[in-house]
Amino acid sequence: MATSQVTAALAAHPFLEGLNPNHLEKLAQLAFEVTFEPDQIIFREGDPSSFFYLITSGKVALEIAAPGRFITIQTLTEGDELGWSSLLEQVNKQFRARCIDPVRALAFDGPRVIAACEEDHEFGYMVLRKILAIVADRLTATRLQVVDVYSAKGAHGK
Amino acid sequence: MSLILETPAAAGRPAMQPVAARVASIIKETHDTFTLTIEPPEGDPVAYFQPGQFSMLYDFGVGELPISISGDPERREHLTYTIRSVGQVTYQLVTRKPGESIAIRGPFGSSWPMKEARGKSVLIIAGGIGLAPLRPAIYHVLRHRGDYNRLVVLYGGRSPRDLLYRKEFAAWGMLPDTQALCTVDYGGVSWRGYVGVVTTLLRHVRMQPTETIAMLCGPEIMMRYATRELESRGLPPSQIYLSMERNMKCAVGFCGHCQMGPYFVCKDGPVFPYTKMKPYMDLYEL
């Protein structure tokens, strides 16, 4: 995929909505397209965090290993970001990411993005604000799952 | 003072007086939820309901409960209820055998805004057993397809084994101008659908917010977050409707068990405009 196509794909991705053209261009320089097959593992729990992805099509299951089985705790699809922990240093992957459908994504090498953020703090601030919004959304969603609103006691607690 | 109350639907019969109905069938939907179909007396007003209304089902000698009607409002030979077996009365109701009798009162309460939704898109957001009171609204839209724009059904459940009406749900998703998406809180490796809270499905919906009517039913926490998400996506609060649930006894606004602020859920609800419920949804005391 040519850089101009990458830039266009990035501009259309909801994660980067509102990012200024210079910052978009900077990210485009760091991005490359990847594809995965159904059931392919993108990363495993415990893997060193290296890449993060902006999914452009397909569906990925985030799974956690339980004794004898895997439990899917979230699915990520077109418009979602996968692997934000790669923007933190010395953090390993917390979950397994498995493709449910054929997946297309734009990939970024975490350490290179971190270096770009260090070099240009305004750019870094914008990227981290975007990441923080994702983390906040995921935290809210996870809290709602933990509440178990659909259990027999239900949300009414009776 | 007379204690005999009448509802328009049951004109001529006191609202507190049940009528016997024969159990036609019981279908197991999930490990704990069943769909009960009964045959009311032919032509009886008890069968003339609007989408979103409920009946009081009485198991003789056990007790009475409010249960939303989950069937097609235009098939009056049967009344259908989807019941989660969580207590003594619900257990007794779902273990009745075809041919046995139960008693019924109703229909009671307000209904989904099907008239207001004409010419607009209909967005249904259901959680858990909350899909049951919304199913009559879906049937209505499908029967009168030309009166409505797009139909979108978003459904969240605890796990794949808790999802209701799975075949029917999949069939809805195949219809033109209809989108039916479901998600679960926890899925196994064999589940290839969505996992996450129901509000995450809104990202996959393309609708003109100002031309959409949203109808929500499910756990209140879910509805609270869903209304916030809808508002953030530009849906005016006046176009959002919720079905509320409270303990009920009389079903006609007499006993006060289901009071919620200035409203009785049985009589003023269960379907409310969000604008009326908004001040009360965050109150712990209610």
Domain with A53 in it: 3-147
Residue A50 lies in a domain: yes
Q: Which residues in chain B are closer than 8 Å to A158, comparing Cβ atoms?
A: 247
In angstroms, what separates the C-alpha of A74 from chain B's closest C-alpha?
5
Task: Tell me the pLDDT tens digit for each residue of A111-149.
Answer: 999 999 999 999 999 999 999 988 898 888 888 888 888
The residue among B65, B61, B6, B70 whose CA lies nearest residue B246 is: B65
Residue A105 inside a domain? The answer is yes
Residues of chain A contacting residue B158, judged by C-beta atoms under 8 Å apart: 148, 150-151
Q: Does A113 reside within a domain?
A: yes
CA of A115 vs chain B CAs: smallest distance (Å): 32
| pLDDT confidence of residue B10 | 54
What is the average per-residue pLDDT within A55-70? 91
Lowest mean pLDDT among A1-5, A63-67, B178-182: A1-5
- The answer to whether residue A122 is domain-embedded is yes
- Judge whether A137 lies within some domain: yes
Q: Is B14 on the interface with A (CB under 8 A)?
A: no
Question: What CATH number did the domain enclosing A68 receive?
Answer: 2.60.120.10
**Dihedral sign, CA of B69, B71, B76, B78?**
negative
What sign does the dihedral A21-A26-A28-A31 (CA atoms) show? Answer: negative
For chain B, domains (ranges, CATH) are: 19-108 (2.40.30.10), 121-280 (3.40.50.80)
DSSP three-state, residue B107 = strand
Please give the pLDDT value at position A106: 94
Selected for mutation to probe chain A from B189, B199, B225 (highest A CB count within 10 Å) is B189
Three-state SS for B65?
A: strand
Q: pLDDT tens across A18-51, in order?
A: 888 899 989 989 999 999 999 999 999 989 878 9
> In chain A, positions 82-121, which contact chain B (CB-CB < 8 Å)?
100-101
What ipTM goes with this model?
Answer: 0.81
Task: Choose among A75, A144, A147: nearest Cβ to B195.
Answer: A75
At B1 the pLDDT is 44
Question: What DSSP string runs through A88-145?
Answer: STT-B--SEEEESS-EEEEEEEHHHHHHHHHH-HHHHHHHHHHHHHHHHHHHHHHHHH
* Number of domain units in chain A: 1
Judged by a CB distance cut-off of 8 A, whether residue B219 touches chain A is yes
Residue A155 pLDDT: 40
Q: What CA–CA distance (Å, rounded) separates A41 from B127?
A: 31
Does residue A154 lie within any of the structural domains? no
The rounded distance, in Å, linking the Cα atoms of B66 and A91 is 52
Separation CA B16–CA B12 (nearest Å): 12
Chain B residues with CB inside 8 Å of A155's CB? 218-222
Residue by residue, pLDDT tens for chain B (286 residues) are 444 444 545 556 788 888 999 999 999 999 999 999 999 998 888 889 999 999 999 998 899 999 999 999 999 899 999 999 999 999 999 999 999 999 999 899 999 999 999 999 999 999 999 999 999 999 999 999 999 999 999 999 999 999 999 999 999 999 999 999 999 998 888 889 999 999 999 988 988 999 999 999 999 889 999 999 999 999 999 999 999 988 888 888 888 888 988 999 999 989 999 999 988 887 766 6
For B203, residues 6+ apart whose C-beta sits below 8 A from its C-beta are A14, A77, A79
pLDDT in the model for residue B213: 97
pLDDT of residue B95: 92
Structural domain includes residue A109: yes
Residues 6+ apart with CB under 8 A from B134: B51, B52, B112, B124, B126, B153, B215, B217, B243
A38 within some domain: yes
